[in-house]
């Protein structure tokens, strides 16, 4: 018996400030994006996944990059306008205390990375993927250094996710309770100055908490002291985000995939589209804006297996049993513990993208029927505000 090969070799791995806590709690540590990270704890991926949806899970995401962009003029609007040169997103319209999803694009309209942008009053705070953070920082410096200072923040980052996340965090930081989805706020936790956003990567309500590195173990331990909270590894983080229909950079998104193909047009606000006040002006704008108007040759869809066999990333998709040429590829797939069935995402031509369409995914030489399904696979539980329109 053997696991299929893992991509990463054992180089010198970095450790997050919570490394000792993971080991003490029985984590199985694996290499991930240059870090030694917990893939699961003793409970295992299945129970960690279900616990997060039922109560609360704590995730160490300190490997992700936290980057401050600050305008040399002192005006955050100047930083926002500068950043709009790299993302097809309305950054200028982002209010102080709010966060927004974005992608860095390349000249072909492909995605260099996906990220969060938070307006922190006197600066913008970006959270980027671990595997991309060095390249992202160089990209920001190369394009923004005329008007902005770009600085990596060496802070820990933890996510607290699940229906009990608010009650758990509110005991240490009561101010979190009146935050709504995508709010960002400085909060004091056990005397440490933290930056809290009401967001996450699970489809659940919850928070992401940026903490000074030296205070992170104590704050993580305090949150884990709550009986509702279980530590969650990367394994369940992946199955949770897949059920939530959220993209993983490097799997569902890459430099050859445009945000329109990826179903991320919602992240491109009207002001950056054709006819908008700040139309285009980002790498690949012509291609991306053309696709918004005229469509794409492929698009990301949800796929529900009809049987019990998980269909995983890399499986080729066919239109029929007889077809010799694949029409698409599964980019993320596995077993969805909450969906209680195999779930996947992949790319298919628009003609086959309507929910209910049956396609076939090839697994170990067999073509298994899958139904195109709306995303997400589980209902999002975000605590949405009603005070403003998106």
Q: How far is the CB of 35 from other proteins (least distance, A)?
A: 18
CB 333 to other proteins: min, Å: 11
Q: Least distance to other proteins from the beta carbon of 325, Å?
A: 25
Q: How far apart are CA 215 and CA 4, in angstroms?
A: 38
Beta strand pairing status for 56-60 and 229-231? Answer: parallel
What value does the CA radius of gyration of the chain take, rounded to a whole number of Å?
A: 21
The nearest distance, CB 122 to other proteins, in angstroms, is: 42
> Residue 57 or 342: which CB sits closer to other proteins?
342
Distance CA 69, CA 143 (A): 12
Contact 149, 72 (CB under 8 A): yes
Q: Select from 218, 244, 264 the least CA-distant residue to 105.
A: 264
Task: Round to whole Å and give the CA distance between 279 and 273.
Answer: 5
Considering the complex, state which of residue 88 and residue 342 has its C-beta at the smaller distance from other proteins.
342
Residue 1 beta carbon to other proteins: minimum distance, rounded to whole angstroms = 5
Q: Are 383 and 166 in contact, with CB atoms under 8 Å apart?
A: yes
Nearer to other proteins, 162 or 334 (CB): 334
Do residues 241 and 206 lie in contact, with contact meaning Cβ atoms separated by under 8 Å? no
- Dihedral angle at the C-alpha atoms of 318, 319, 324, 327, nearest 10 degrees? -60
C-beta of residue 48 within 8 angstroms of C-beta of residue 236 = yes
Distance CA 385, CA 8 (A): 41
What is the smallest separation between the CB atom of 54 and other proteins, expressed in angstroms? 16
Which CB atom, from 46 or from 352, has the smaller least distance to other proteins?
46
Which one, 1 or 351, has the nearer CB to other proteins? 1
Which residue, 45 or 87, is less far from other proteins as judged by CB?
45
Positions touching other proteins (CB under 8 A) are: 1-4, 39-40, 44-47, 49, 235-236, 238-239, 308-310, 312, 334-335, 337, 342, 364
Nearest CB to other proteins, comparing residues 2 and 9: 2
- Measure the CA–CA gap between 233 and 26, rounded to whole angstroms: 11
Question: What's the 3-state SS for 281-296?
Answer: CCCCHHHHHHHHHHCC
- Provide, rounded to whole angstroms, the least separation between the CB of residue 22 and other proteins: 17
């Amino acid at each position: 018996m053997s696991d299929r090969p893992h991509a990463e070799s054992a180089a010198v791995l970095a450790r997050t400030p919570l490394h000792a806590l993971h080991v003490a709690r029985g984590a199985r540590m694996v290499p991930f994006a240059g870090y030694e990270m917990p893939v699961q704890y003793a409970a295992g991926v299945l129970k960690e996944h279900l616990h997060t949806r039922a109560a609360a899970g704590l995730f160490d995401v300190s490997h992700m990059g936290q980057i401050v962009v600050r305008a040399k003029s002192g005006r955050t609007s100047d930083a926002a306008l500068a950043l709009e040169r790299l993302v097809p997103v309305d950054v200028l319209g982002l209010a102080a205390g709010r966060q927004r999803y974005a992608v860095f694009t390349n000249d072909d309209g492909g995605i260099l990375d996906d990220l969060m942008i938070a307006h922190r009053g006197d600066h913008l705070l970006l959270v980027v993927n671990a595997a991309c953070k060095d390249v992202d920082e160089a990209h920001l410096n190369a394009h923004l250094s005329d008007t902005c200072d770009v600085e990596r923040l060496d802070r820990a980052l933890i996510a607290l996710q699940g229906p009990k996340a608010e009650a758990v965090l509110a005991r240490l930081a009561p101010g979190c309770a009146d935050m709504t989805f995508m709010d960002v706020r400085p909060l004091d936790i056990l005397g440490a100055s933290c930056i809290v956003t009401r967001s996450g990567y699970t489809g659940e309500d919850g928070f992401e908490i940026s903490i000074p590195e030296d205070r992170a173990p104590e704050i993580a331990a305090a949150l884990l002291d709550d009986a509702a909270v279980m530590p969650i590894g990367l394994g369940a983080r992946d199955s949770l985000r897949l059920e939530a229909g959220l993209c993983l950079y490097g799997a569902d998104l890459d430099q050859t995939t445009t945000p329109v193909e990826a179903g991320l047009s919602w992240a491109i606000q009207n002001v950056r589209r054709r006819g908008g006040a700040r139309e285009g002006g980002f790498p690949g704008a012509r291609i991306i804006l053309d696709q918004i108007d005229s469509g794409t040759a492929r698009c990301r869809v949800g796929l529900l297996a009809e049987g019990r066999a998980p269909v995983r990333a890399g499986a080729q998709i066919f239109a029929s049993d007889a077809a010799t040429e694949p029409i698409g590829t599964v980019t993320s797939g596995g077993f969805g513990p909450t969906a209680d069935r195999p779930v996947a995402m992949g790319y298919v031509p628009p003609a086959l993208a309507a929910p209910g369409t049956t396609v076939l995914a090839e697994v170990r030489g067999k073509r298994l029927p899958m139904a195109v399904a709306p995303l997400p696979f589980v209902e999002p539980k975000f605590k949405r505000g009603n005070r403003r329109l998106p």
